[in-house]
């Protein structure tokens, strides 16, 4: 089986996340984050994204934070797929893996309900045997802890598995879970892609099937 992170790995969600983030920042009287800069705030879920942006614009008001996060999530839920799409080559890559009988899954720090809703709106949910969100097992067990990936493999019936991600959260979780991991160079990487510590790094989804086969032939998958 092959598992995927969602934001910045399988889907380019940066513009929809950016509009939601800027909605919350405006409510807090803070300046917006340019949409081209949103990617560096993404990776650990909505709370971390909001905290990161607030810290850069004057600090976090803890008394107001929970309410502000709720407003961000509510706005995002209502505007979740206006600008979001698979990264280039993603559909063909998913088709190629499915044609080989590979079970597909999602493990994302996005809340499970939002992940399911987004994939359903994009017509992709039925492709995945399991969709594990950052709150599925409790936030303390989200990536980079290995728990979500262990649960992902369990729900998919066990056996050999690999993971694909774009941040230290993903690579850390895969390493802790004992899974080989591929990083995507086009994602929301919080370190230079080649410094993430993945087993392989790809520039385009056209390369993923071959890379997974190479890892399999080397005994890593």
**C-alpha to C-alpha distance for 74 and 80, rounded to whole angstroms:** 10
5 in catalytic set: yes
Give the gyration radius of the chain's Cα atoms: 17
Would you call the peptide bond into 139 cis, given omega within 30 degrees of 0 as the criterion?
A: no
The per-residue b/e assignment along 163-190, b for 16 or more CB within 10 angstroms, e otherwise, is bbbbbbbbbbbbbebebbbbbbebbbbb
Q: At what angle do helices 112-121 and 62-78 cross, to 10 degrees?
A: 20
SS3 164: strand
Q: Which of 5, 12, 16, 190 is catalytic?
A: 5
CB of 133 closer than 8 Å to CB of 111? yes
Tokens representing 148 are 């979500």
Give catalytic residue positions: 5
């Amino acid at each position: 089986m092959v598992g995927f992170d969602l934001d910045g790995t399988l889907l380019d969600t940066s513009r929809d996340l950016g509009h939601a983030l800027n909605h919350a920042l405006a409510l807090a009287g803070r300046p917006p984050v340019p949409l081209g800069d949103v990617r560096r705030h993404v990776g650990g879920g909505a709370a971390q994204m909001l905290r990161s942006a607030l810290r850069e614009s004057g600090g976090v008001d803890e008394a107001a934070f929970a309410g502000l996060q709720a407003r961000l999530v509510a706005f995002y839920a209502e505007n979740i797929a206006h600008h979001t799409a698979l990264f280039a080559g993603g559909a063909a890559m998913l088709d190629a893996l499915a044609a080989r009988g590979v079970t597909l899954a999602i493990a994302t720090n996005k809340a499970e309900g939002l992940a399911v809703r987004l994939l359903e709106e994009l017509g992709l949910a039925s492709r995945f045997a399991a969709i594990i969100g950052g709150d599925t097992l409790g936030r303390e067990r989200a990536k980079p802890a290995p728990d979500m990936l262990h649960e992902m493999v369990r729900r998919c019936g066990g056996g050999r598995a690999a993971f694909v991600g774009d941040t230290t959260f993903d690579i850390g979780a895969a390493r802790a879970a004992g899974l080989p991991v591929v990083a995507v160079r086009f994602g929301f990487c919080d370190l230079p892609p080649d410094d993430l510590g993945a087993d392989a790094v790809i520039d385009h989804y056209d390369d993923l099937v071959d890379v997974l086969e190479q890892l399999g032939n080397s005994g890593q998958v």
